[in-house]
Every structure is written in structure tokens, then in C-alpha cells.
Chains A and B, each alone.
Chain A
Amino acid sequence: SQTIHQWPATLVQPVGSPLSLECTVEGTSNPNLYWYRQAAGRGLQLLFYSVGIGQISSEVPQNLSASRPQDRQFILSSKKLLLSDSGFYLCAWSGASGLSYEQYFGPGTRLTVT
């Protein structure tokens, strides 16, 4: 069966510090991968998605970037965090074709920027 991992689970970082969040998927090949941010009371915001290694699409211009160095690894980064980057970050995967739109989510990372 497929599983998705995210780490760290929680993170407290000062403004201006760098960020690296990692997401890995097991039990499937060539998944579509997604990064979402969830701010309090604002639902889910799609940040990035990837349909293959090195292929990243950005949905929202912002202080963040994403990379996919391996088939089942998706990384969210920032060079300098802002207070507004605080939130709950969720990684998700779907089947390679993406045509079913069925996404499966990881446990999330709670980021607090101080």
C-alpha cells in the first residue's frame, strides 16, 4: 500500500531563516505531487505541483520554492522566511495520470515563524 511521509511534524523558525520541508511517498511510482498551505480559516491553498522529476509548477507567486530531486521526493524551501509563511503545510500525491483527481495527503507540518 502507499504511504506518504512529511517531516518535520512541527517547526519554529525565526523571520529571515531558511526553510526545508520534505515529503516522500512510498508504494507508488511517478506520482503527481502537491504542496498546499493551510492558514487559519482560509482553507487550502495550492502552492506547487509536480508531474515528474524536476518538473515544478507554481500556483502562487511567493517567498517559497519547490523541488523534486527524486521520483517520490518533494521538497518545499525558502531562503528567508516571512511571518506570513506561518501555517500548516500539507503534501499530497495522486496517480500518475492525474485524471482521477484523487489525492492522498500526508500528516502535515506545522510551521510557526517568529
Chain B
Amino acid sequence: AQSVTQPDIHITVSEGASLELRCNYSYGATPYLFWYVQSPGQGLQLLLKYFSGDTLVQGIKGFEAEFKRSQSSFNLRKPSVHWSDAAEYFCAVGDGGSQGNLIFGKGTKLSVKP
């Protein structure tokens, strides 16, 4: 069965520092992969997605992610974190079914130090 693992529950980085959030998935075929961001008390906003093609995908708010099939990973990166990036980040993979269901990781909470 498909699954998504986000190994880090909580990460703290200093403003201006680089960021990498880890995501590992389990899926037999080429996966549909997503990163979402959730600010406190808000819904989820789609940051970026990978379906096929170039393994480095660009998203909104200066984020990017790289699909590495050999490592079953889809890590999210940002070169310079801003205080407004403090939020919870969720990685997700399509479940392979026809209903378009997503399987989510448990999330990584990002705190940003001034």
C-alpha cells in the first residue's frame, strides 16, 4: 500500500537560513507527489506538484522540490526562509485509484527564529 513518511515532526531554522523538509513515499509506479502548506487555523494551500518530466519542480513562495526515484524521496527546499514561512508542511502522494485520493504524511511543523 502507498504511504508517505515525513521523518521530522518539528524543525526550527533561523530566518535567512536554508530549509529542507524531508518526504519519503512508498509507491510502485511513478507517483503523483505534492507539497501543501498550512498556516495555523487555515486550510491547506498547494505549494507544488510533480507528475512527470523534470525532477526539480518549482512552486509558489520560492519553494522547490526534487523527485529522486532511487531514494523514493520528494524533499522540499527553500534557499532563504522568511518568518512568514512558519507553518505546517504536508507531503502527499496520489493513491493510484480513480477517485483521485491523496495519502498525506503526518506533517512537519516549521518554526522560524528571528
Establish whether residues B44 and A90, one from each chain, have CB atoms under 8 Å apart when the complex forms.
yes
Q: How far is the CB of B108 from chain A (nearest CB, A)?
A: 11
List 8 A–B pairs whose Cβ atoms lie within 8 Å, in order of A's numbering. A6-B43, A44-B104, A57-B99, A94-B100, A100-B51, A105-B44, A105-B45, A106-B43
The tally of residues in B whose CB lies under 8 Å from a CB in A reads: 23
Residue among A6, A46, A100, A108 making CB contact with B101, cutoff 8 Å: A46
Q: Is the CB of B106 within 8 A of A99?
A: no
A99 near B100 with CB under 8 A, answer yes
Task: Output the nearest chain B residue to A103 by Cβ-Cβ distance.
Answer: B102
Q: How large, as a class, is the contact surface on chain A?
A: 20 to 34
How many angstroms from the CA of A101 to the CA of B97 in the assembled complex? Answer: 9
B27-85 residues with Cβ-Cβ distance < 8 A to A are 32, 34, 36, 41-46, 49, 51
Asked whether A105 and B32 contact (CB < 8 A) given A42-B106, A94-B100, A98-B99, the answer is: no
Interface, chain A (partner B; CB < 8 A): 6, 32, 34, 41-44, 46, 49, 51, 57, 90, 92, 94-95, 97-108, 110
Q: Is the CB of B90 within 8 A of A100?
A: no
A100-B100 in contact given A43-B107, A44-B90 (Cβ < 8 Å): yes
Q: What are the 3 tightest A-B residue pairs by CB atom distance, in nearest-first order?
A: A98-B100, A101-B94, A43-B106
